[in-house]
Amino acid sequence: IGPDGTPIVSDPTKEINVRKIFRASRLGDPVTPDEVIFDAKGVTFNVKTLFKSTESFVLYSDISGVEVVESLILATIKVKPKIRSEIKIDNFSKEDAKIIKTLIKERLA
């Protein structure tokens, strides 16, 4: 309730912070699978190696393109931010890679 006694109404769509996490297949890297994390404002790409992890957050508005390169079993996702260098994440299932590409493209429009 506000100072004048009226209820404070906020926009519920701005309060919802839904996160969707995709993890790379353990077939490609059983110890340190990469991750793609979607939230309300952008995408976090977490590229892991045995001794370090590189986390890159990109706003949806800063993404200029996304590409999926399929191999025999798994797929690589290449995200092209407008200003930074390309982000490459490996060893995702082909199905997850296509879903990730679709989710990013929906937010670019």
Output the domain CATH number for residue 23. Answer: 2.30.29.30
Which residue from 79, 97, 88 is spatially nearest to 22, judged by alpha carbons? 97
Instruction: Please say whether the beta carbons of 46 and 91 come within 8 A.
Output: no
Q: Which domain does 98 fall in, by range?
A: 19-108
Give percent of the chain above pLDDT 70: 81
Total number of domains in the chain: 1
98 in a domain, yes or no?
Answer: yes
Residue 101 domain-assigned? yes
Distances 23 to 7, 32, 55, 56 between C-alpha atoms, Å: 42, 10, 14, 15
User: 2-6, 64-68, 81-85: which has the minimum mean pLDDT?
Assistant: 2-6
Alpha-carbon gap, residue 101 to 83, rounded angstroms = 19
Flag whether pLDDT at 12 surpasses 70.
no
Largest CA distance in the chain: 65
Residue 1 forms part of a structural domain: no
39 belongs to a structural domain: yes
User: What is the mean predicted confidence (pLDDT) over 52-80?
Assistant: 94
